[in-house]
Chain A
Amino acid sequence: MSFDINMQYDRLYRYCYYHTHNRILAQDIVQEAFTRYMERYGSLNEKNAVPYLYVIARNLCIDHYRRQGMQAEKHVQEKTYEQEQTIGLTESEDNTLITKLSVQRALLRLSEEERELLLLISVNEVSVREAGMILGISRFAVYRRLRLAQKHFRTELGKEGIDGDY
């Protein structure tokens, strides 16, 4: 039950990197979020430490967007293109890359909110309650939208040829 700061740092970083695609900026935002949280609340061993940290980080990312006028999407699409150009990989690396590109294409067809939910809950293991706090919607709305997002993701993956009994 205690706060695993190492893990939360990495998860927050993943979140911020997704939004900013800039290593330095993402790390600065993560650290700034922790700092601001500590200044206000003093201890990380609080029930709501995780959602508060995300809220602070999210706001900092949004501030950055506004300044830059960019979207994460654009970055991702640029990267995808780059990777399609890569040659000289081993077969297994090649396979992973193919899967990766498929997943990217599938996810890009989801809405921004659906991606956000999947990142927070399915990847970063934020709870439904906490996600509600972060996104400002009810628990039920989170649960409903998450299920739809997962379904949508599976459908899009199917279109990419990635099936699975999962």
Chain B
Amino acid sequence: MELRIDRVSKQYKNKIAVDRLSATLHTGVTGLLGANGAGKTTLMRMICGVLTPTSGEITYNGVPVSEECYRSVLGYLPQEFGCYPEFSGRDFLLYFAALKGMPRNEAEIRSEELLETVGLVDVSKKRVRTYSGGMKQRLGIAQALLNRPQVLILDEPTAGLDPMERVRFRELIGEIGKSSIVLLSTHIVSDVEHIADHILMMKGGQLLWQGEWKESDGSLEEFYLREFRE
């Protein structure tokens, strides 16, 4: 299982959002650190195949991420997302299960299973617009897990979660990381410090630093702040 990012750049008219970035991701949790505007979301969108790089290539097990078959193994949680106003939590999951090509009965079982995992069973029949920020985020995470993805891309997934939810989330992600490639972006270092095996640090569209991070390496936060002050 290998997600290869090969000298990828994304250039807009007046800005270079991602600048010749290369990295290879394997099974496990990779944390993508960087301030807002560092290019994390742009990079993630390119990894998901929704944005085309200006140059460079991203492949999964040799298959370009622009191919349709890649989406069958992909799970994505964007930084922001909406919902059709008439949808309940359950409707939302069933809708995406259908879009992911899951047959109806399997979709129902899987949705129930995930609602339980993220703790939304009680409110599953209520409209999503009545959900709090944290609940909506949990629903988004559930959606990303519907098709048991081999590649899970999460853009600022802990924003809006309370401390309890954060802990639950870390456990969930840690578990998934054992058998899938998980890329999780955040500007909050403590979110990744304990669950990420591999860290990527971005600034100004470039990869500033990448490597393994073990507990014994000390405070990731200090290192991060130091690197970014320069």
A interface residues, Cβ below 8 angstroms from B: 1-3, 42-43, 45
Among A1, A2, A42, A45, point to the contact of B106 (Cβ < 8 A). Answer: A42
Bound CA span A105–B179, Å: 42
Chain A binding surface SS class: loop
Residues of B within 8 A of A2 (CB): 1, 27, 178-180
Q: Distance (Å) between the CB of A45 and the closest chain B CB?
A: 4
Residues of B within 8 A of A43 (CB): 147-148, 150
The residue of chain A having its C-beta at the shortest distance from the C-beta of B61 within the complex is: A5
B interface residues, Cβ below 8 angstroms from A: 1, 27, 102, 106, 147-148, 150, 178-180
Q: Distance (Å) between the CB of B99 and the closest chain A CB?
A: 15
Bound CA span A43–B179, Å: 11
The residue of chain A having its C-beta at the shortest distance from the C-beta of B146 within the complex is: A42
Residues of A within 8 A of B1 (CB): 2
Cβ-closest 8 pairs across A and B: A43-B148, A45-B179, A2-B27, A2-B179, A1-B178, A42-B148, A1-B179, A2-B1
Q: Distance (Å) between the CB of A46 and the closest chain B CB?
A: 8
Residues of B within 8 A of A1 (CB): 27, 178-179
Bound CA span A129–B178, Å: 20
Bound CA span A120–B114, Å: 34
Residues of A within 8 A of B179 (CB): 1-3, 45
Q: Distance (Å) between the CB of B108 and the closest chain A CB?
A: 14
Inter-chain contact total with CB atoms closer than 8 Å = 20
Residues of A within 8 A of B180 (CB): 2, 45
Bound CA span A158–B52, Å: 65
Bound CA span A1–B26, Å: 12
Q: Distance (Å) between the CB of A37 and the closest chain B CB?
A: 13
The residue of chain A having its C-beta at the shortest distance from the C-beta of B149 within the complex is: A43
Residues of B within 8 A of A45 (CB): 148, 150, 179-180
Bound CA span A45–B178, Å: 9
Check A42 against B147 for contact (C-beta < 8 Å). Answer: yes
Q: Distance (Å) between the CB of A40 and the closest chain B CB?
A: 9
Bound CA span A131–B27, Å: 27
**Listed A/B pairs (8) with beta-carbon separation below 8 Å:** A1-B27, A1-B179, A2-B1, A2-B178, A2-B179, A42-B148, A43-B147, A45-B179
Bound CA span A125–B122, Å: 44
The residue of chain A having its C-beta at the shortest distance from the C-beta of B147 within the complex is: A42
Residues of A within 8 A of B148 (CB): 42-43, 45
Residues of A within 8 A of B178 (CB): 1-2
Bound CA span A1–B177, Å: 10
Bound CA span A49–B23, Å: 30
Bound CA span A111–B70, Å: 46
Bound CA span A45–B148, Å: 8
Residues of A within 8 A of B27 (CB): 1-2
The residue of chain A having its C-beta at the shortest distance from the C-beta of B178 within the complex is: A1
Residues of B within 8 A of A42 (CB): 102, 106, 147-148
Q: Distance (Å) between the CB of B114 and the closest chain A CB?
A: 13
Bound CA span A2–B177, Å: 10
Bound CA span A43–B147, Å: 8
Bound CA span A43–B150, Å: 8
Q: Distance (Å) between the CB of A83 and the closest chain B CB?
A: 39
The residue of chain B having its C-beta at the shortest distance from the C-beta of A43 within the complex is: B148
Bound CA span A2–B182, Å: 13
